[in-house]
Chain A
Amino acid sequence: MAKEKANSGPLARRPDNSAFKQQRLPAWSPMLTANTVLPFFYCMAVLCMLLGVWLLVTVQNTQELKVSEPEFSQIYLTDALCASALMISILFLSQGNVFFYYGLRNFHQNLRRYMDSRDDAQMVGRKKNLKSPSTYCEPFEKDENGLPIAPCGAVANSIFNDSFTLVYHGSKGSTIHVPLYRSGLTWYTDKNIKYRNPKVDNLTLAQVFEGTAKPLYWHKPVYELDPHNPDNNGFINEDLIVWMREAAFPNFKKLYGILNRVSEPFTEGLPVGNYSIEISYNFPVQYFRGRKEVVLTTVTWFGGQNHFLPIAYLVTGGLILLLAVILTVIWWKFGKDGKNMKE
């Protein structure tokens, strides 16, 4: 209204002749014509198939070894509390970096109440939250003595605490412990930003965590998680961080270690031969009908041995090609020359 008053005269109320107001903005109005759609379909088909083939070739070069439940369960049934060894043999040379994963099946890290049951403010090292964890952590917020649990919550409480040792049985009957990096397993952001120990000058980690209790199922407190590397303790312990990144699906695998290729014979990767995995059993899965597995794999530029993507691309490419052919035929028979478009 104000701008109407601004101008006066016989045509005071005449609307502006701007392209916007008159809905005459210059515009591109594309139509789905055969000239554009059909080539696009063919291009997409070719693109998807090429990608699929490329991915497939790449995937074929990765090697993966999966050891899963049957072997595990036998052990557990016979000797529930002991560490035990498991024999495997690798029939091919794993080139390059070899990654050691542990896997769980039917373990739901993605339940809403489970996922909520953690306190990120505590894990980032806030002193206030250390001693008074979030109520979301219930019932793993305080122990029976009323001491605050650090780290609180169901996620931390249920940490996977089996430990593995990979042993190489050389050709001459010698056994070599395969060296694994137990750090560098996490995302940089997690290790350096998301998880921090409470910072107090001149205090050891044990003193910082004084007044807190260890999670119920844990055997040792959080500041003693890694006896070998004091910098890998507290909230920044990599196994803890890896566990705390909750898996999206009930079947998942998490990184346990990376082959250390410093010394022979592992400089090229894992040599062909017999191996055994020594497992110290801590984590019971039979209650929830879960299964454990161990995965040894190499990775490519798009991750581990992932057959889904190449196959999906190939199938998609094939379907699009089929669709494109059908469309072409239909267009050729019915719609050519735009004869349907006549008035």
Chain B
Amino acid sequence: MKVEPAEEERHVKANARDYNDKFSYADNYIKTSKYNIFTFLPINLFEQLQRVANAYFIVLLILQLIPAISSLSWFTTIVPLVFVLVITAVKDATDDYFRHKSDQQVNNRQSQVLIRGHLQDEKWMNIRVGDIIKLENNQLVAADILLLSSSEPYGLCYIETAELDGETNLKVRQALTVTSDLGDISKLTDFDGEVICEPPNNKLDKFTGTLFWRDNKYSLDNEKMLLRGCVLRNTEWCFGMVIFAGLQTKLMQNCGRTKFKRTSIDKLMNTLVLWIFAFLICMGIVLSVGNIIWESWIGGNFQVYLPWDKIQSNAVFSGFLTFWSYIIILNTVVPISLYVSVEVLRLGHSYFINWDRRMYYSQKDVAAEARTTTLNEELGQVEFIFSDKTGTLTQNIMVFNKCSINGKTYGDVYDEFEQKVEITERTACVDFSFNLLHDRRFKFYDSSLVDAVKLEDPSVQEFFRLLALCHTVMPEEKSEGNLLYQAQSPDEGALVTAARNFGFVFRARTPETITVYEMGRAVTYQLLAILDFNNVRKRMSVIVRDPQGQTKLYSKGADTIIFDRLDPSSEDLMCTTSEHLSEFAGEGLRTLALAYKDLDADYFDIWMKKFLFASTVTENRESELDILYEEIEQGLKLLGATAIEDKLQEGVPETIASLSLADIKIWVLTGDKLETAMNIGYSCNMLRDDMNEVFIISANTLSEVQQQLRSAKEHILGLSRVSSAEKTDTFADDFVFEEAIIAEYALVINGHSLAHALEPQLEHMLLDLACLCKTVICCRVTPMQKAQVVELVKRHKRAITLAIGDGANDVSMIKSAHIGVGISGQEGMQAVLASDYSFAQFRYLQRLLLVHGRWSYFRMCNFLCYFFYKNFAFTLVHFWFGFFCGFSAQTVYDQWFITLFNIVYTSLPVLAMGLFDQDVSDQNSLRYPSLYKLGQQNLLFNKRQFFLCALQGVGTSFLLYFIPYGAFSVIVKEDGSHLSDQQAFAVTIATSLVIVVSVQIGLDTHYWTVVNHFFIWGSLAVYFAILFAMQSDGIFGIFPSNFPFIGTARNCLAEKSVWLVILLTTVVCVMPGLAVCFLRAELFPTLTDKVRYLQQARKREGPQEQNLRRVRRTSSRRSAYAFSHQQGYGELITSGKNMRITTVTSAPSPEGVTQRSSWIDNMLKRKSEVACISDDSTGASESSSKTIQTPE
């Protein structure tokens, strides 16, 4: 990264590369890789040597090269070190290779760029700031560009910002009026406007700048920007000028830094290594003091036979040298192979994730992928999950699921015994073939509704008529009968599609008319007014006049709102419908109530006049309109209610239930609206009606937020004192697979409040409150806020966090969490690319955590325990021997044994255990989510466990030394020749050690596969093979100095007494551990032991059905109006601005065109906030004249 002075203002001139090059703005090349071919070796080596462990071994290597203290040959260190460095380097190289590939793929996407008057296909990476590029429908936007013109009238264009904020509804962008006619190449080539704007930043919803063109200034805002990552929709083409490119785009700025993620075990391991190092130094000091004493008492006298070195002047100096010698000898307590083995294990675990068929999604042909291979065991310790909503929990598909018409519900299927039938894939769908225009993808299972439509039940017809008329959907008919609806919100699309299939096909609209094919008959309604939706009104209405001249108002909205405005005659129906609504809501459906009203012609005329007048008023227009709307939306007649299912991903409630049984807290962070988010909360079973309280924090100022947070907290703390007795009860029985009945709270907080709550003075309160609640939902949050929430928890909770999301808006959250999970198989790849793990469905999270994560953690912990045990047992023998060899740093073992012990003799069995061990099967892991808690509490490997392992190792080393010592001090060979020499002793101890640690690994292995058998027996065999080979005549003949142990194994292991020693050592070393394990399992069985016990018992009994108990949704009464909808869309329709001339088929409107044009103009101004700083009157009049022309 070059260090540049911070950019204060950005000057970009269109079509002037030379001018823009002066500023050295980032180009559109994106680089996430770390190395290239030439820098790989130095940089990678440098990085590797920065790791404490590797640096430590380099220091050791240097020590070993000093002859005076070299107690071990240099090869004992260099062989494993090179091995480790090479393996790590290979892994890094492959990782980087894939990063290169993905960069290349992004950088080489094609885009059309205007260069010297011609449109040329260019790669994305060659796009520069100031270029004018052409985008076509459904293309990804290559950089942050200023919209200049588009195929649509008024320079409108539609984009989907799912990559940025997760919202899939279409958003409108509009070009400046002055640039919107730059539709052809020649005009664009001449365009030489200069944009002066803010420097690159990460604010997705803000942009300030000014366009200077033809001596005029035009102010620019976010409504004119298309950001990288958006997709152009519904617009044939558009032109834009690149403002920010590459890494300076808002998307990339929002990505956050890529941090190297380390697991907590990693950190613990580093701490432990430091401890061990300290321990090592202590041992070194003890031994060197011993050496000083020994040298001055005995060694000094022994100088006749062994004079001191020339450099060794006195005993103290000898002690000093001995210290270093012992550091070298004892360094194997921290074996180099530990790090490489850990890496290998993680890699293996990652492969198991990649290979898991149960995390493979066949519909999209996507398998799970572990993109980072260093975090696996952390998956077994997750305490917080931060989940995105759209695309992660939900499929973002709305389905018309049920409805209640005139007091009768439709949508459920009953069998002949009047029993509700569960709808599955196999349930027969209703046949819509009577309707030529039906949408094939629409599925409905209750045929009675179709029958009702066919019988021309008036209320049913009116119901669907309403659905076909009251909306802001745009139809698109590419060919005859091939209808496509462009809905601003998926809810509306679902409703109109439902009406379409039931024979009320919304086919075309003009600003003044709506054409509906009612049971195959074209009926054109005059659209008189759209009473648009907003957050306060929570309803929308249309006023139409049917061909018979009858004027009607159709209204749909939140049930509570509609019910307040009903005619008294609908009272009975309201009660019934209300019941139905609560039933729907209980199933997690999004409900809307529908009502209509026949309007008296005279009354309407008067109202219309008032309405038109109010529309032209500039001040207080909105409030006046609201009053007018309120006035006419009275005395409605209820038609019924619809229930839309915001389709959850498969298995989401079950997954959430199971994860929360594992004590994992799930927080939903979504850019969606409060209502939508809560709705999903209910349907995911995260919010329930039986919860004691759902706190909604929604305030605009810091103090208000503080107030709300405090009162919520006080509420909880006040109540919990009462229910504390109840609590202790339920905690004791946490094994039971049932929802605990302790006080449950939920917190829902919106983006504004969150911004305040995340400030330093409130964040603690927020966190405390959030942790008291069982469910936390944050809505309307920006990508950065998502990351901030994650950071907050990470900082203060010492817990492992996992973030899961699918879109670019989740990237920052994914990157800042300990573990990031991306949902793959969607269109955007940003989330996946930033993630550590990716798979296609939210429900796989359950398997990833409860099975793979738990196993990984379990395996890693067992591995580490064993590894430390093994190395303590191996190394500390030198310590004991020190007391008998005058503290002279003489090794007990052969040097070759020291070199090979960790990397050959004992590496594979422990690796096999670390890779394949399973304490309980995967089914049982899923069946008993509580097993997961061990990992969260970090019980399997912590400082205490380490201490115990180390202690066991020390004990073993003690026995390993002293039992052979006792025997060898008096031992002779069978033929009387002596055997108590150092080499025979070395071979005996080494053999005992290998056997003892092999038996120990056997005891530690819970799951003996063929591989385990092969490795354990194989390692023993290899030990003996190498032992005999290294001590054979042949190799001694070639290198007599390096293999002085010639014949020792043969002579030594031929002795029965030696085997008696080995047997005794093994028995004594192993039995105590065995007894302790047995006692622990008998007296204080852990949950794991219990499940294992059950598993064994069940295996004996034979296979059984092991289904997870189904999680039942609780019924809840609530009202939901969940349009993910923007205000003011209705205006666009009535103004006709968003209609292409070709789609306008009906006759021109008879009246009000001229009046409306000014109203439209006003609307337009408000909507797109065209602010003409200088004299922009020409632009305004231009646009108004165009509006008048459009309908023709």
Residues of A near any B CB (own CB < 8 A): 10-17, 21-23, 25-32, 34, 37, 41, 44, 48, 51, 55, 97, 99, 101, 106, 108-115, 117, 119-121, 123-124, 126, 134, 138-139, 154, 157-158, 185-190, 193-194, 242, 245-255, 258, 284, 287-289, 297, 299, 301-309, 312-313, 316, 320, 323, 327, 330-331, 334-335, 338, 340-343
Residues of B within 8 A of A327 (CB): 1075, 1078-1079
**B963-988: which have CB < 8 Å to A?**
963, 965-986
How far is A253 from B970 in the complex, measured between Cα atoms in Å?
A: 8
Is residue B434 within 8 Å, beta carbon to beta carbon, of the partner chain? no
Residues of B within 8 A of A246 (CB): 981-983
Whether B1036 contacts A25 by the Cβ 8 Å rule is no
Residues of A within 8 A of B1083 (CB): 330, 334-335, 340
Whether B978 contacts A258 by the Cβ 8 Å rule is no
Is residue B1173 within 8 Å, beta carbon to beta carbon, of the partner chain? no
Is residue B1010 within 8 Å, beta carbon to beta carbon, of the partner chain? yes
Beyond the given pairs A25-B1009, A32-B1074, A242-B978, 4 more chain A to chain B contacts, judged by CB atoms under 8 angstroms and listed by A's residue number, are A29-B918, A121-B1040, A158-B305, A249-B980
Residues of A within 8 A of B1082 (CB): 34, 330-331, 334-335, 340
Look across to chain B and name the residue whose beta carbon is closest to the beta carbon of A245: B981
Q: How far does the Cβ of B1035 sit from chain A's closest Cβ, in whole Å?
A: 11
- With A108-B885, A189-B1046, A194-B1047 known as contacts, the answer to whether A288 contacts B301 (CB < 8 A) is yes
Whether A29 contacts B1008 by the Cβ 8 Å rule is yes
How far is A154 from B302 in the complex, measured between Cα atoms in Å?
A: 11
How far is A182 from B1007 in the complex, measured between Cα atoms in Å?
A: 57
Interface segment among B390-398, B663-671, B1088-1096: the answer is: B1088-1096
- Contact partner of B365 among A13, A138, A189, A302, CB < 8 A? A13
**B912-968: which have CB < 8 Å to A?**
916, 918, 922, 963, 965-968
Q: How far does the Cβ of A288 sit from chain B's closest Cβ, in whole Å?
A: 4
**B1058-1095: which have CB < 8 Å to A?**
1060-1061, 1064, 1067-1068, 1071-1072, 1074-1075, 1077-1079, 1081-1085, 1089-1090, 1092-1094
- Contact partner of A194 among B71, B365, B1010, B1036, CB < 8 A? B1036
Whether A114 contacts B305 by the Cβ 8 Å rule is yes
Whether B1010 contacts A25 by the Cβ 8 Å rule is yes
Which 7 A-B pairs give the minimum distances between C-beta atoms? Answer: A189-B1047, A335-B1082, A21-B355, A302-B1057, A112-B890, A248-B985, A158-B305
Look across to chain B and name the residue whose beta carbon is closest to the beta carbon of A238: B977
Whether B1067 contacts A113 by the Cβ 8 Å rule is no
**B324-380: which have CB < 8 Å to A?**
325, 352, 354-357, 360, 362, 365-367
Look across to chain A and name the residue whose beta carbon is closest to the beta carbon of B67: A135
- With A31-B1092, A112-B71 known as contacts, the answer to whether A303 contacts B974 (CB < 8 A) is yes
Of the listed residues B301, B986, B1040, the one surrounded by the most CB atoms of chain A closer than 10 A to its CB is B1040
- Contact partner of B963 among A28, A111, A312, A320, CB < 8 A? A312
Whether A304 contacts B970 by the Cβ 8 Å rule is yes
Interface segment among B45-53, B106-114, B627-635, B1048-1056: the answer is: B1048-1056
Q: How far does the Cβ of B1043 sit from chain A's closest Cβ, in whole Å?
A: 9
Residues of B within 8 A of A110 (CB): 884-886, 888, 890, 982
- With A111-B886, A341-B1094 known as contacts, the answer to whether A303 contacts B365 (CB < 8 A) is no
Is residue B116 within 8 Å, beta carbon to beta carbon, of the partner chain? no
Whether A251 contacts B969 by the Cβ 8 Å rule is yes
- Contact partner of A134 among B973, B979, B1041, CB < 8 A? B1041
Is residue B185 within 8 Å, beta carbon to beta carbon, of the partner chain? no
How far is A112 from B306 in the complex, measured between Cα atoms in Å?
A: 11
How far is A182 from B1012 in the complex, measured between Cα atoms in Å?
A: 51
Residues of B within 8 A of A158 (CB): 304-306
Residues of B within 8 A of A121 (CB): 1040-1041
Whether A119 contacts B1041 by the Cβ 8 Å rule is yes
- With A23-B918, A111-B306 known as contacts, the answer to whether A341 contacts B969 (CB < 8 A) is no
- Contact partner of B982 among A248, A307, A331, CB < 8 A? A248
Residues of A within 8 A of B1096 (CB): 29, 31
- With A23-B918, A28-B1008, A115-B890 known as contacts, the answer to whether A299 contacts B974 (CB < 8 A) is yes
Whether A114 contacts B1090 by the Cβ 8 Å rule is no
A-B contact list, 23 entries, CB within 8 Å: A21-B357, A23-B855, A23-B918, A26-B1009, A37-B1078, A101-B972, A110-B888, A114-B888, A115-B982, A138-B309, A186-B977, A189-B1051, A194-B1036, A288-B305, A289-B298, A305-B970, A308-B966, A309-B1057, A313-B1060, A327-B1078, A335-B1082, A341-B1094, A342-B1090
Residues of B near any A CB (own CB < 8 A): 71, 298-299, 301-302, 304-307, 309, 325, 352, 354-357, 360, 362, 365-367, 735, 855, 884-886, 888-891, 916, 918, 922, 963, 965-986, 1006-1012, 1033, 1036-1037, 1040-1041, 1044, 1046-1047, 1050-1051, 1055-1057, 1060-1061, 1064, 1067-1068, 1071-1072, 1074-1075, 1077-1079, 1081-1085, 1089-1090, 1092-1094, 1096
Residues of A within 8 A of B1011 (CB): 25
Q: How far does the Cβ of A159 sit from chain B's closest Cβ, in whole Å?
A: 10
Number of residue pairs across A and B with beta carbons under 8 Å? 290
Whether A99 contacts B1090 by the Cβ 8 Å rule is no
Q: How far does the Cβ of A294 sit from chain B's closest Cβ, in whole Å?
A: 14
Q: How far does the Cβ of A195 sit from chain B's closest Cβ, in whole Å?
A: 10
Q: How far does the Cβ of A153 sit from chain B's closest Cβ, in whole Å?
A: 10
Q: At the interface, is chain B mostly helix, strand, loop or mixed?
A: helix
Whether B977 contacts A302 by the Cβ 8 Å rule is no
Residues of A within 8 A of B889 (CB): 112
Of the listed residues B968, B981, B1046, B1056, the one surrounded by the most CB atoms of chain A closer than 10 A to its CB is B981
Q: How far does the Cβ of B862 sit from chain A's closest Cβ, in whole Å?
A: 14
Whether B325 contacts A112 by the Cβ 8 Å rule is yes
Residues of A within 8 A of B299 (CB): 111
Look across to chain B and name the residue whose beta carbon is closest to the beta carbon of A252: B980
How far is A301 from B981 in the complex, measured between Cα atoms in Å?
A: 19
How far is A247 from B970 in the complex, measured between Cα atoms in Å?
A: 12
Whether A29 contacts B325 by the Cβ 8 Å rule is no
Q: How far does the Cβ of B980 sit from chain A's closest Cβ, in whole Å?
A: 6
How far is A86 from B1067 in the complex, measured between Cα atoms in Å?
A: 45
- With A51-B1060, A307-B970 known as contacts, the answer to whether A15 contacts B360 (CB < 8 A) is yes
Q: How far does the Cβ of B479 sit from chain A's closest Cβ, in whole Å?
A: 28
Look across to chain B and name the residue whose beta carbon is closest to the beta carbon of A64: B970
Whether B298 contacts A29 by the Cβ 8 Å rule is no
How far is A316 from B1056 in the complex, measured between Cα atoms in Å?
A: 19
Look across to chain A and name the residue whose beta carbon is closest to the beta carbon of B852: A23
- With A111-B885, A308-B970, A331-B1082 known as contacts, the answer to whether A14 contacts B362 (CB < 8 A) is yes
How far is A97 from B972 in the complex, measured between Cα atoms in Å?
A: 14
Q: How far does the Cβ of B1051 sit from chain A's closest Cβ, in whole Å?
A: 5
Whether B1093 contacts A287 by the Cβ 8 Å rule is no
Residues of A within 8 A of B309 (CB): 113, 138
Q: How far does the Cβ of A192 sit from chain B's closest Cβ, in whole Å?
A: 9
Residues of A within 8 A of B1044 (CB): 120
Residues of B within 8 A of A114 (CB): 305-306, 888
Q: How far does the Cβ of B91 sit from chain A's closest Cβ, in whole Å?
A: 15
How far is A248 from B985 in the complex, measured between Cα atoms in Å?
A: 7
Whether B967 contacts A323 by the Cβ 8 Å rule is no
Q: How far does the Cβ of B881 sit from chain A's closest Cβ, in whole Å?
A: 8
Look across to chain A and name the residue whose beta carbon is closest to the beta carbon of B1057: A302
- Contact partner of B1075 among A10, A112, A247, A323, CB < 8 A? A323
Whether A254 contacts B1046 by the Cβ 8 Å rule is no
Of the listed residues A113, A252, A254, A288, the one surrounded by the most CB atoms of chain B closer than 10 A to its CB is A113
Look across to chain B and name the residue whose beta carbon is closest to the beta carbon of A134: B1041
Residues of A within 8 A of B367 (CB): 13-15
- With A194-B1036, A247-B981 known as contacts, the answer to whether A341 contacts B1085 (CB < 8 A) is yes
Whether B1060 contacts A12 by the Cβ 8 Å rule is no
Residues of A within 8 A of B362 (CB): 10-11, 14
Residues of A within 8 A of B1093 (CB): 31, 338, 341
How far is A331 from B271 in the complex, measured between Cα atoms in Å?
A: 39
Residues of B within 8 A of A330 (CB): 1079, 1082-1083
Q: How far does the Cβ of B496 sit from chain A's closest Cβ, in whole Å?
A: 32
